[in-house]
Structure 1
Amino acid sequence: MSDRIAIVGGGLSGSLLALSLAQRGLEVDVYEKRTDPRINRGETGRSINLGLSKRGMEALKRVGMLETVLERAVVMKGRVIHSPDGEAIFQAYGNNNNQVLHSIDRNELNRLLLDKADQSDKVTLHFNQRFIKANKDARTIEIESDSQTKVIKHKWVIGADGAFSNVRKEMQRGERANYQQEFLEWGYKELSLPAKEDGTSLIQLDALHVWPREHGLIVSHPNLDGTHTLSVFMPFNGEFSFEKVTTKKEVENFFNTHFCDLVSMLPSLVEEWERNAVGSLITTKTSQWYYKDWMVLVGDACHAQYPFYGQGMNSAFEDCCVLLDSLEATQFDLANAFERYESLRRPHTDVLAQLSKDNFTELKDKVKSPMFLMRKKMDLVLNKLFPERWLPMYTMIAHTTMPYKHALIRSIKQNRIINSVAACIAVATTMVLFSLIFPLI
């Protein structure tokens, strides 16, 4: 088996990579600790719905899966901001029909990718197989299944096993590696908003819905059947928190006070609140992403992100593309390919981590600000007038494949221009007012 490639983790990036490598004629073993999600569909676990954007779409297009995935997704043309008084304001994502997101269930997307990978005779999927440890000297990995362990030798190994990656821990053991993680002080709980009896949606279907409040935040993704998956974000501790909102009375009081417009649309609110666990949100950074010419990390294993920019899955898929491009650019010189891959990606995913954290503040506080709304409109107007020269920050992140750091630099330059223009307008206005109040005699 020494000529085969091992992928630890059969989630989104792992299954996409397996399919991509198989299409290049390489033989792949995928080891996933869970049961096969295509069989046990009820065991979905916690999952924030995904907003598929340009970067993820490009990756799916490469493996011939884009059209299949889009058939299972709902187009989101913008976001609807729900204020406490019941007013709903629609904010378009862009100026044309191409600047949209596509909402899809994470588990459904995973099943589609696994099905496609499984059709290849180059891919072998191993479920209920848990990665235990690696021997970097012998270049073997140890896998546990049914309380039995086996030692396997592969040509190289990809760690696609998530934010708490065991591959990363084993790969960096004994190395001069940096690693940092940060848990958000807020967690999340999922709820479901059902469709009407005729299968249509109770709220606008082709949009992301946001309920920003001082003591909580709800984000809703649409589903094809007219339902919506709601993610309720709240602090873990404090006066208004998951710690304090636990009983039936507390849940009802909290929603009637802060999300009263939603209560009538959530018939199973209390039952779901009591049944569904609270999820944690983590962001991570690490270096190195690889060990010599044998191990390499992708996705959350090397850069987990908060979900507030909707780029977790999209950036993980982009990792896969850059890794494959690096392999081909170096003619599969693994050590050089892995080094090239990390140097191309890590500066940008580090920037994305900060952008995702900043966007949490935007969704929670700024989206209801008149100044924020005016700036968003100004960005769209300038983009329409100068489509090649002026790109809003969100457009660069979600609707292009511009590297994240380059997008940030460009956005900073554009902000300076707007601030300068605003300052000039303020000075001119002041001078006019002054001349009107104190005319020349």
Structure 2
Amino acid sequence: MSTDPVSGPDGPTGPSDGPVAVVGAGLAGCLLATLLGRRGIEVTVYERRPDPRIAGAERGRSINLAVSARGLAALEQVGLRDHALKRALPMHGRMVHPLGAPENFQHYSADGARAINSISRAELNQALLDTAEATPGVRLRFAQKVTGVDAERGLLLLDGPDGPVTEPAAVVLACDGAYSALRRAVLPPGAFERGQDFLEHGYKELTVPARDGGFALDPDALHIWPRGSSMMIALPNLDRSFTCTLFWPKDDFAALDTAEAVTTHFRRHYPDVADLMPELTTDFARNPVGSLVTVRSWPWVRHGAGAVVGLVGDAAHAIVPFFGQGANCAFEDCIEIDRCLEESGGQWARALSLYQERRKANTDAIAEMALDNFVEMRDRVSSPVYRATHAVQHALERRLPGRYTSRYELVSFSTMPYAEIPARIRRQNRALAGAVLGAGLIAGLGAFAGRAALRARGRR
């Protein structure tokens, strides 16, 4: 079976009429279904889990979201921006907890006014589910496990309670996460799935509960305990608790196999927070260890005779969570698909081809930046050299507004395409280096001229 689109005068063509299936009712799936429904497109959303609004979120796997400019811009398109901000807590910087040294606060923005927003993944998902469900033309179906798609016959393959079943689908949009069941459906025949890189680190969630009715830690910060090869972070919640996430080498989790070992380890390595976690040993034993994977899949789109299939969000490009951009990036995918549908006059094959062409470089760029930020968070943030560099960057941003902007500001507080950010940073650094060199040269020439003048006066 060919994966190439059928060519038309304006680019790829293919099945554009017929049932549209969104696989996965997570953040991206719900946002995309809502955007499509508002275009008058009939959409069915298939979700393998029971309705999380009834069954609750999966334990220990939430990783609180840090919603920033890109995510807020997307949520505004479906009327949820203000709702999200009302249910979020702004974090204006990092509170770094070095071992054996005082904590220190590092603003995210040069003016100290900008913030990323801590919000419960489960709560935002519920709001998006409600919005999708209220959108005419959108139907949600839970406990429906999609196992694959036959793009040639236009059939969605499901594992039903009575065995395998099929349902017609002319367009299939896979929003089913990093371990997507549909990713192989877009590969050429006989090709192997590639582009999945796992960190040696895993993650586990813990909790710092409210203390005497208030926050036990500063709620205006994302807290980081950098420990070289590992770290812990904590994000505030509206109930005045903090969701903590350990990022450790997986062997380290296995080594702490008793409650006493867990308590001893935390008192040694996280002494300022260990006593704030009364359920530490219980949470450590009960909550699973999650994996951290980067997915660089390609292609994202398959044009079959009966259906066009596209990968969206983590199904196409999962990234590690260390820049807080996973959901923000997936939301941008949804907005891009909506934009491409508008530009292509509703031709799905053309729209999805445009979408993957425009987004691939951006998602590769943020994947690399997220991996680099892991090293920054666990190793660099407690270094005096890093803190001095951070202060200089903010001073330059205040002195040269619009001409010098840090990478963090461009990623978190702008919607500049991710792929343009590294080049922007290189250009401004070259310009800055040139200015410094020029200033030094001018100063040197001035000094030389001054000395020459003195010598001339001496000869006279």
Same fold (TM over 0.5): yes
Residue 430 of structure 1, CA deviation:
12
Match of 2:384 among 353, 357, 370: 370
Q: Aligned to 2:397, which of 383, 397, 408?
A: 383
Once the two structures are TM-superposed, the CA of residue 177 in structure 1 deviates from its matched residue by 7.4
Alignment partners' CA distance in 2, 1:370 and 1:250: 32
User: Residue 274 of structure 1 aligns with which residue?
Assistant: 285
SS of the residue 2:204 aligns to: strand
Report matched runs for 1:104-119 at 5 Å. 104-119=119-134
Q: Name 1:435's counterpart in structure 2.
A: none
Aligned partner of 2:219 among 205, 214, 219: 205
Q: 1:309 to 1:268 in 2, by over 3 A?
A: same
* Contact kept? 1:182, 1:284, Cα under 8 Å: yes
Match of residue 330, structure 1, among 326, 329, 344: 344
1:258 and 2:273 matched: no
- Give the conservation status (yes or no) of the 8 Å contact 1:34–1:129: yes
Equivalent residue for 1:135, pick from 136, 139, 150: 150
SS in 2 for 1:30: strand
> Is the counterpart of residue 227 in structure 1 residue 227 in structure 2?
no
**What's the TM-score, normalizing by structure 1?**
0.92
Q: Which amino acid aligns with 2:210?
A: A
1:379-420 CA distance string (max 9 Å, x none): 111111222111100000010010111111111223344556
Aligned residues: 429
Would you say the 8 A contact 1:44–1:107 is kept in 2?
A: no
Task: Report how far residue 424 of structure 1 moved.
Answer: 8.0
Contact (CA 8 Å) 1:185, 1:235: kept in 2 or not? yes
* 1-structure distance, mates of 2:37, 2:210: 40
SS at match of 1:38: helix
Q: Of 72, 80, 85, which aligns to 2:95?
A: 80
- 2-side partners of 1:37 and 1:160: how far apart? 16
> C-alpha offsets along residues 208-251 of structure 1, whole Å, 9 cap, x if unaligned?
000101352011111011100000111112xxx11212211221
Q: Which residue number in structure 2 is paired with residue 150 of structure 1?
A: 165
Letter in 2 for 1:68: H
In structure 2, relative to structure 1, the CA distance for the partners of 1:398 and 1:312 (3 Å cut) is same
Instruction: Give the direction of change, closer, same or farther, for the CA distance of 1:14–1:42 in structure 2 (3 Å limit).
Output: closer
Partner SS for 1:379: helix
Residue aligned with 1:60, SS: helix
1:159-206 CA-to-partner distances (Å, cap 9, x unmatched) read 0000111111123251767631110011111000011122x1011101
Residues 17 and 256 (structure 1 numbering): CA distance in 2 closer, same or farther, change over 3 Å?
Answer: same
1:271 Cα deviation (Å)? 1.1
Indicate whether 1:412 and 2:429 are aligned: no
> 2 CA distance for matches of 1:320 and 1:100?
24
Contact 2:403 2:428 in 1 (8 A): no
Distance, in Å, in 1 between the alignment partners of 2:335 and 2:37 is 14
Which residue of 102, 105, 110 corresponds with 1:95?
A: 110
Instruction: Give identity over the alignment, percent.
Output: 36
Whole-angstrom distance in 2 between the partners of 1:429 and 1:185: 51
- Quote the residue 1:394 is aligned against: 408
Letter in 2 for 1:353: A
What is aligned with 1:434?
none
Q: Which residue is 2:33 aligned to?
A: 18
Larger deviation: 80-89 or 348-357?
Answer: 80-89
Tell me, yes or no, if structure 1 residue 342 matches structure 2 residue 342: no
Corresponding residue to 2:56 among 24, 41, 48: 41
Indicate the RMSD between aligned Cα atoms, in angstroms: 2.4
1:273-312 matches, cutoff 5 A: 273-292=284-303, 294-312=308-326
Q: Distance in 1 between matches of 2:434 and 2:67?
A: 35
Residue range with higher mean Cα deviation, 157-166 or 92-101: 92-101
Name the CA distance, whole Å, in 2 between partners of 1:348 and 1:333.
Answer: 23
Residue aligning to 1:242: 253
2:180 equivalent in structure 1? 165
Larger-Rg structure: 2
The answer for the alignment partner of 2:204 in structure 1 is 189
Letter in 2 for 1:256: R
Distance change >3 Å, CA 45–CA 220, structure 1 → 2? closer
CA distance in 2 between counterparts of 1:170 and 1:343 reads 18
CA 1:175 to 1:428, structure 2 compared with 1: closer, same or farther past 3 Å?
Answer: farther
Q: Select the structure with the greater relative contact order (CA < 8 A; seq sep ≥ 6).
A: 2
- On the 8 A contact 2:42/2:137 being kept in 1, the answer is yes
